[in-house]
Amino acid sequence: MSEPDRTLYLAIPFDTFDSFFQERFVQESVRLYQLKLVVYDPQKEVVIEWRN
């Protein structure tokens, strides 16, 4: 099934975003592959940030 009108986001826990995703090679990969991210707090079960 194809749904071209939908956008895929990668959900990342805040702790992972705050550590691993701050590495330069990870940031470059996110830019290179145009990844869209949702950063969330798994304890509070809330979205902290949507990143395009």
Q: How many domains does the chain have?
A: 1
| Position 20 in a domain | yes
- Say if 4 falls within a structural domain: no
Residue-number span of the structural domain to which 37 is assigned = 10-51
- In this predicted structure, what is the pLDDT of residue 2? 79
- What pLDDT score does 10 carry? 97
Q: Which helix (H) or strand (E) holds 51?
A: strand 46-51
pTM value? 0.84
Which residue ranges in the chain fall short of pLDDT 70?
1
